[in-house]
Structure 1
Amino acid sequence: MLTSPLNPEHPFFAIECKAQRDMVWSVLGPSMLDCSWAPQHPSWLQADWQLLSHAEAEFTPEFSSTRLGLMFEQLWQRALSLTGSDWLANLQISGPERTLGELDLLLRQADKEWHLELALKFYLGHRNEWIGPNRRDRLTDKLAHTHSHQLALSQQPEGKKALELAGWHAPEPQALMRGCLFHPAKPEFNGSLPEEVSASHWRGRWCHYQDAAELLPEGPWYVISKPDWISPVRCPLTVERAELIRYLTAHFEYLTVAVCAVVAVEGQQGWVEQQRWLIMPDNWPQGLD
């Protein structure tokens, strides 16, 4: 498994294709969770680093959505196809009057079957809450929904019926969550983590724009766009902290969306990500219930 932060000389950064790096990190990157229903090192995860990182020199998946969560699922499907695994994605579960949901992934290994719920998430710590950048998503809600609804779906009568019709029999439910938890750079916002969170999760930092000049380290820096959030990035260029601050000033004069930027270090592959930051508008998370 890969850990964060990666050594700048790690062969991960030698993978030329960004989509392939995203796939490798999605499968082998650090787990956000470590609990009975989402273990950090699940027994079914037997992916081969050599296979995933060298299977093809280049590939460009045709994502059906620009949403990171759906891209993450499709990267997983791509990886399973490369490994020759027996799998089925997005099995719909219907009740008498409505659709109850769908199972993200079914996986068969030898005589064992698994129902897997996959998620890619990014949360910021604000005292004892872990909140999505858009404020609509919270880690505690996601944990409860995954455990109580999504994983339970395959155990319900409607789920068992759909599984049997599709040729699957009593798969064991487990969740796998990747992504980054952004810890507050300002101590007054420190809080606790849910007990399900892995101690070795991918860690970032966050601050408000008004505190950026005080809290951001020297750099050099590289600003990344939303499609680049999935895995640690290679940086085609870098800027010094003063230039980043000027960019943030112009950005937040007109916009209220977060800026994601990384501190870069130089390795054999050039400048690569070492630490990830989210810089938030000063009123975030205004409106928190």
Structure 2
Amino acid sequence: MTNVKVSINPCTELAIPLKSGAHPWLQLKSSYLRDIAWVIFSPNLIGTTLGAYTDAGKTLWGSAESRLGIAQTLKELDSDQTYHTYEPRPRMRLGHYFESLLRDLLVLPEFQKASHTKYLASNIQVVEGKTTVGEIDFLVGHPPQHTLHIEAAVKFYLLPRDCPNADNPLSWVGPNTRDRLGLKLAHLEQKQLALLEKQPRARQLASVYSESGSDKKIESAFYVKGMLFIHWSSPVQRPKRANRNLLMGHWLHQKDYITLTEHLRREAQNHFLIPLNKNDWMSSYYWNSATLNGQATIAEPSHNTVPKMFSHFFQQLNGEWCEGRILVVPDHWPESNAPSRII
């Protein structure tokens, strides 16, 4: 077993308080509405522009006052049991689920009114001859006579242990090691966001749906959410171009998960490790002291050939409950990539 020094309360320094007003999804009971709120209010993964392209969030959700209105709307909807029938979350690729939630936001009248936007189209295939040269994720109308092309994604990246270049986005690796933050940023800037500039067919298709008309420029912007993970024995580090306020968690190898669970059972009280399915990775589950009844305190170790995420709920000395995230990866990660292909 890897010799890892275990702190008194491991994997806790990146957790967020469950009553945090900055994270409205934590107060919602419906998993569907929690995910909707996470799509809106979770910190952006990217903290800078990408060349000439900017983040679409401010255009979509408007001012702080507009966001407060959206948060209040979500609270009101959460009291309607209709929205609780969306559980459990659908079984589809996480990226597709993220896009479907964003599409719901752009279509629902409650959110169109709050954000002053109009859904125009999504997932427009751009085909030249018999070759698909790209896809337009979203086209959104925004007054006055303005159209926004949005490329959306949800991404999770890990920093390998003892990596000497943590500030380099290429050092941050996806659960599938062929995916790296630096590669995603370059692909967004140079291909996805530049699609309308480089492909006449893409411009033509966008103009058909656009309220601006063919004589108006359609702006492109990105909308990227997600989390970054550091090894559970490493100091907190972030790459260049990342949002300084982004959500972060810890990762560890499967063999070290056994060490963690043994430590928590022996040394710590009021700690809960709850396994998450892939489409629970965004907003996890609603949690308060009442939900402790009947829950297994700490999930047992199991042999996984793909990464497995856990919500780590725990109570601080002041009585406040918090949630952290732990991503457990196979012992061979990142040297071997094969078992991660299905993610």
Q: TM-score range by the shorter chain?
A: 0.7 to 0.9
For 1:81 and 1:41, how far apart are their aligned partners in 2? 16
Residues 1:101 and 2:134 aligned together? yes
Q: Which has the higher strand share?
A: 1
Residues 1:74 and 2:81 aligned together? no
For residues 1-289 of structure 1, the aligned pairs below 5 Å read: 5-10=15-20, 12-36=25-49, 37-39=53-55, 42-46=58-62, 47=67, 48-55=70-77, 57=80, 58-59=82-83, 60=86, 66-82=92-108, 83-84=111-112, 85-87=117-119, 88-111=121-144, 112-126=146-160, 127=163, 128=165, 129-156=171-198, 157-168=200-211, 169-187=216-234, 193-214=238-259, 218=268, 219-235=271-287, 236-237=291-292, 238-240=295-297, 243-244=298-299, 247-248=300-301, 251-252=302-303, 255-265=304-314, 274-287=323-336
Structure-2-length-normalised TM-score? 0.70
Q: Percent identity?
A: 26
Contact 1:125-1:191 at 8 Å conserved across structures: no
For 1:33 and 1:100, how far apart are their aligned partners in 2? 25
- 1:5, distance to aligned residue in structure 2 (A): 4.8
Q: Secondary structure at the match of 1:115?
A: strand
- Number of aligned residue pairs: 272
Deviates more, 1:129-138 or 1:97-106: 129-138
CA distance 1:86–1:61, shift in 2 (3 Å)? farther
- 1:65, distance to aligned residue in structure 2 (A): 6.1
For 1:261 and 1:12, how far apart are their aligned partners in 2? 17
Structure-1-length-normalised TM-score? 0.82
1:154 maps to a residue whose letter is L
Contact 1:38-1:175 at 8 Å conserved across structures: yes
For 2:89 and 2:193, how far apart are their aligned partners in 1? 25
CA RMSD of aligned residues (A): 2.9
Q: Secondary structure at the match of 1:31?
A: coil
For 1:5 and 1:214, how far apart are their aligned partners in 2? 20
Deviations 1:84-134 (A, max 9, x none): 231221122222341211111111111222111110111111124211213
1:228 maps to a residue whose letter is D
CA distance 1:215–1:136, shift in 2 (3 Å)? same
2:206 maps to a residue whose letter is L
RCO comparison, higher one (Cα < 8 Å, 6+): 2
CA distance 1:61–1:77, shift in 2 (3 Å)? farther
